[in-house]
Amino acid sequence: MNFSKRLQEWYFVNKRDLPWRSIQDPYFIWLSEVILQQTRVEQGMPYYYAFTKAFPTVQELAAAPQEQVLKLWQGLGYYSRARNLHTAAQQVGAMGGNFPKTYKELLSLKGVGDYTAAAIASFSYNEAVPVVDGNVYRVLSRIYGIATPINSTAGIKEFKALAVQLLDISNPGTHNQAIMEFGALHCKPANPFCETCPFNDQCVAHAQNRTTELPVKLKSKPVTHLYHHYLVVRTPLDNTLLVKRPQQGIWAGLYEFPYIEASKTLECQELQEQLKSQEWLSGVRFRESVTLQHTAVHKLSHRTIHATFWEINTLDEVNDSVHIKDAFEKPVHVLMDRYMKSQWNAYL
């Protein structure tokens, strides 16, 4: 029995009932694929339903303000996906709401790379192009004993060639769904179900006891440590101050408290010395000394943010401040969201 036939037989018995699998509409398939990039299905499902409810068509997504899109995305992480999603929707909107119908044309959409284009093309249009994501790398590297790093130029080329060779060209959509599902549910990163695997009679990793070694990935660059000292303004009218991050870099376009960046975690006295250089606080009278409210550590792919939240109670109102209730309506990053919900829960 060939690879794809075994794979699809497993799939028809074990596949999950996911809402985007019963349709061929490229909008919903694209939406699901973007949401599920670097996200588990269980985490992404509520976001899929929220987006399809808020934006039933790609034109409605295209017409939405970016802040609304970012707010719906809040908590999912990797916010560039949301910004690219919005831009790509506007591209499709400019095409009359009609998605490109081929793999090559789909690559013209913002944020749509090789994997996403292949998924849409095969699931919606049955184009014979293979998908190669993290699940597929893992399945192929283990079964065929490939130790070429998956994040190397040679590895990307080798795995793509193998995926093309194994693809069921008569039913590429089902084949692609099957191999992704097999990697997610059966050939898992840790504790794969080797004993009941339909490929255990030919799997190199299983025969050589190498499942924990494969796939191989080149080491990433060293982690940078950042120290952010967030200044939580509280005015007499329960207003606070939010600033919008630049449109580039981490958490682009999201709101947060103003912060001081330092080379270390500061003590209270050190922070108060730093406050003297903050022009936006010039002329503002403090009710009392700044107080430490909350600390957190947040790990990104190549950065670790050490966050400290300091509350500043003022005797005066501050220009451009917003009421705390209104602050909850703004799209904010995960550190902000956690602080606001833990400290200001009464305003929800």
Q: What six digits make up the tokens of 234?
A: 């509280």
67 tagged catalytic:
no
Q: What six digits make up the tokens of 294?
A: 């909350």
For 18, counting Cβ atoms within 10 Å of its Cβ (0-12 exposed, 13-18 middle, 19+ buried), the class is middle
Q: What six digits make up the tokens of 157?
A: 């080329």
3-class state of residue 205 by DSSP: helix
Q: Rg of the Cα trace of the chain?
A: 24
DSSP state of 165: H
Angle, helices 172-185/134-144, rounded to nearest 10 degrees? 80
Separation of CA 316 from chain center: 40
Provide the β-strand partners of residue 244. Answer: 255
Those residues with Cβ within 8 angstroms of residue 32's Cβ, 6 or more apart along the chain or in another chain: 18, 19, 20, 44, 48
- Give, rounded to a whole angstrom, the gap between the first and last alpha carbons of the chain: 58
Those residues with Cβ within 8 angstroms of residue 95's Cβ, 6 or more apart along the chain or in another chain: none
Active site residues: 33
